Chains A and B, each alone.
Chain A
Amino acid sequence: MASLADPSAPLSEYTSLSRQDTGDFFGAEPMLPVPYRIHKRRQELSDTFTLELTPADGSHSLPFGPGQFNMLYAFGAGEVPVSISGNPANPATLIHTIRAVGPVTEALWDLKSGDVLGVRGPFGTDWPVAEAEGSDVVIVAGGIGLAPLRPAIYHVLNQREKYGDVCIYYGARTPEDILYRAELEKWRGQFDLTVDVTVDRATGKWAGKVGVVTRLLARGGFDPLQTIALVCGPEIMMRYAIKSLNQHGVANDRIYVSMERNMKCAIGFCGHCQLGPYFICKDGPVFRFDRIEPLFEIRQL
């Protein structure tokens, strides 16, 4: 993998290299969906669910990097980009957590265990888990933004000894909207992790924290000069999280964000997901923040 942390590396260089990492089975036919069967469907939240997929012909597994996404095809409805949220060390089962917000994700919602959908991918850049070795890792997630970060969390936990202090700071709308709650509680019980959760609103029954996710950073638990921060959530939440990370001394070239745009071809041809000079599908979705900072400031891009 090329170094995402190297500021002199041209963007196109590392993206093409990271594409090679993703395996080449789809290389010949990047637009052709491969049939996958739903092995298991799990309800996560009132509008969010997780699909565990296995290849319909049982032929292969799909190696992926943490942060990459697939195009999921609900036959008859259309395709949507969805980040992979499973364990990269166990690619035999493909795991996607999906929020039903539009026609295609609602068609995916209606699928049942045993049904078949189409998968293209994996596409896009990884969270810089290799570059972060030897550093503290701060993960700031908001809402469904925890799903694209979970593979990075798994990776760090799989190789815990390679990292310094690891903090996971998660914000959700209400206590009922906390994604992967059981898993967060399990991680919180580990001695070698700092895990803190806050919600934007709650009633008196909630015994945890209420307040915006950026307040969790005040607790520290990391060395800002030796930290790699991974941030994913709604763009406005990321903007405030970055501001807060900066205030705590983490520079923009040590902050990575995952950007979301409507992707169509996922291979950098169609231009649907253009962000300034970049196509999010191939130059992203994970960007080092200093590279896209000027674009982040532009309204309605």
Chain B
Amino acid sequence: MDQREELERLLCEHPFFRSMSPELQREIADCARSERYNAGEYIHREGEPADRFYLIRHGSVAQELRIPEQESIIIQTLHEGDILGWSWLVPPYRWTADARVMQLTRLIALDARCLRGKYADDPQLAYELLKRFIPIIANRLEASRLQLIDVYGEPRHRK
């Protein structure tokens, strides 16, 4: 099996793409490639151009916010099967957090410029992609709310 077929197979097996038509899956596979990162590497940094999104095949990635003169805060961690990144959908297409690799991680990277080029001419592709991203965005918002209200309550530091 050549690399392209392998990528197409991995994409089709992923829940995110599984229910798409074979034609759309092939379109998307045109924009895909495999990537590998070691622990401690950054996939991207806040403010950099968001020209990709990723399917995590294996490993863990921490999305972090840097706060001057403090340790970075981990907003969430993403793991096998998760989708990383939707800043590529929102102008001006800049990452809003750092993505730090926590352990050896293999991903499928999808080239956003390639996808944006395709979906400008193909509303069906745009619809199918957005339909899958919106629940991810909604879940992220819901999780943020729960983290914000601090459900477990602040510990009282005692002697």
Binding site for B on A (CB under 8 A): 45-48, 100-101, 109, 142-144, 171-173, 176-177, 198, 200-212, 215, 233-234, 236-237, 240
**Residue pair B64, A204 in contact (C-beta under 8 Å):** yes
Measured between alpha carbons, how far is A172 from B151 in the docked complex, in Å?
9
B75 on interface, CB distance cutoff 8 Å? yes
Residue of A176, A198, A211, A237 ringed by the most chain B CB atoms within 10 A? A211
12 further A-B contacts with Cβ under 8 Å, apart from A48-B155, A172-B152, are: A47-B155, A47-B156, A144-B152, A200-B147, A201-B74, A206-B74, A207-B102, A209-B79, A211-B76, A212-B143, A212-B147, A240-B142
- Least CB distance from A243 to B in Å reads 10
B150 on interface, CB distance cutoff 8 Å? yes
A204 CB contacts on chain B under 8 angstroms? 62, 64, 71-72, 74, 100
B90 on interface, CB distance cutoff 8 Å? no
Dominant secondary structure at the B interface: mixed
Measured between alpha carbons, how far is A211 from B82 in the docked complex, in Å?
13
B149 CB contacts on chain A under 8 angstroms? 236
13 pairs, A vs B, C-beta closer than 8 Å: A46-B157, A46-B158, A47-B155, A47-B158, A48-B155, A142-B151, A173-B153, A202-B74, A203-B73, A208-B77, A211-B143, A233-B151, A234-B151
B146 on interface, CB distance cutoff 8 Å? yes
A101 CB contacts on chain B under 8 angstroms? 156
**Residue pair A210, B152 in contact (C-beta under 8 Å):** no
**Residue pair A143, B153 in contact (C-beta under 8 Å):** yes
Measured between alpha carbons, how far is A47 from B152 in the docked complex, in Å?
12
Contact of B152 among A46, A177, A203, A205 (CB under 8 A): A177
A212 CB contacts on chain B under 8 angstroms? 143, 146-147
**Residue pair B158, A203 in contact (C-beta under 8 Å):** no
Measured between alpha carbons, how far is A117 from B74 in the docked complex, in Å?
43
Q: A210-B74, A210-B75, A211-B77 are in contact. Are A200 and B155 (CB under 8 A)?
A: no
Contact of A203 among B74, B150, B151 (CB under 8 A): B74
